Amino acid sequence: MKRGLLLAGLLTLFLGAPALAHFQMLYTPESALERGGAMTLKLIFTHPFDAGHTMDMAPVEEFYVVQQRGEEAEPQKIDLMEYLTEISWASLTNSGKAYEANLPAKVVRSMGDYVFVLVPGPYYEAADEEYIQQFTKMIVNVGGVPGNWHQPLGLPAEIVPLDKPYANWTGGIFRGVVMAEGKPVPHAELEVEYLNHAPNMEKNAFEKEAAIEAPHPSLEVLGIRANARGEFAIGLPKAGWWGIAALGVGPEDEHEGKGLAQEALLWIQVTDMP
């Protein structure tokens, strides 16, 4: 009898647990910088709302930045692979293989937009028996001169911003277009998640304290759909970083004999009005 109750209790807990989404983080504390300089980025494959299980990242396939100062300037692509070092990142439940990029001042020196792109190798999710690969973008601006923040880069899967990802007030909205191989993806499925535990850059760990508590699992990961033109809009109720993922929109669906979900991911930062 007791065993039956215990099993029922565990089953309830299991079924009641939210299915939090995998998000490839490409993190730096501030995306709207007054001045350029040396910068550290953390590359972590994790569950950002609850700082849950952090996955061992597969080796990075591509990591670069496309910089542009002004709308009429030519974009400059800079490969950043040489600045990557492997680290261990601690979530609240485990530690996983991640990467750190220490960029010298010469990389992020001039004014303008810096569109950082990370293409990690496919990660095998044993529970789903398939691979996941998230084409991740994070955009930094130096000095307020805009550039290429809204330009598609032609990635296999990509979220193209319609608002500057680094210039959003709390309470505003953010819009974007889901694209695959340069074309909008009608009715794409998206997940939106708040980075709820502050990353500690020194300790390579999430802080234990959560910024908010969601009253319902559906509010921990927001599930939305793009419209027929691949466009979406989300509200921005709280300052901090928000991750937006478009699920399974990339062209490849198989890797090493298993299924492959190619996803597009974009990080945006929200700022409180002083």
Partner 1 sequence: MKKFFVLALAFGFLALSGQSFAHTPLFSCFDNGDGTIFCEGGFSDGSSAAGVPIIVKNGSGKEIYRGELSRNSDIEFDKPEGEYSVTFDGGEGHDIVIPGSQIFE
Residues that bind partner 1 (CB under 8 A): 34-37, 69-73, 104-106, 109-112, 143-147
* Least distance (Å) between residue 137 CB and partner 1: 19
Nearer to partner 1, 112 or 122 (CB): 112
> How far lies 250's CA from each of 70, 137, 267, in Å?
30, 15, 18
* Least distance (Å) between residue 203 CB and partner 1: 27
Residue 37 phi, psi (nearest 5): 155, -175
> How far lies 212's CA from each of 18, 35, 228, in Å?
15, 31, 33
Are the C-beta atoms of residues 240 and 269 closer than 8 Å to each other?
yes
* Least distance (Å) between residue 82 CB and partner 1: 16
Nearer to partner 1, 96 or 152 (CB): 152
The burial class, CB within 10 Å (0-12 / 13-18 / 19+), for 271 is middle
Nearer to partner 1, 11 or 105 (CB): 105
- Closest by Cα among 229, 225, 169, 147 to 192: 225
What is the rounded (10 degree) CA torsion for 207, 167, 57, 39?
-80
* Least distance (Å) between residue 107 CB and partner 1: 9
Break the chain down into helix, strand, coil percent, rounded to 5: 10, 45, 45
Nearer to partner 1, 56 or 163 (CB): 163
For 16, the token pair is 């009641």
Nearer to partner 1, 122 or 146 (CB): 146
* Least distance (Å) between residue 34 CB and partner 1: 6
**Cα 95 to Cα 132: distance, rounded to the nearest angstrom:** 19
Beta bridge mates, 169: 271
Nearer to partner 1, 165 or 199 (CB): 165
* Least distance (Å) between residue 234 CB and partner 1: 24
Nearer to partner 1, 71 or 253 (CB): 71
Beta bridge mates, 274: none
* Least distance (Å) between residue 68 CB and partner 1: 9
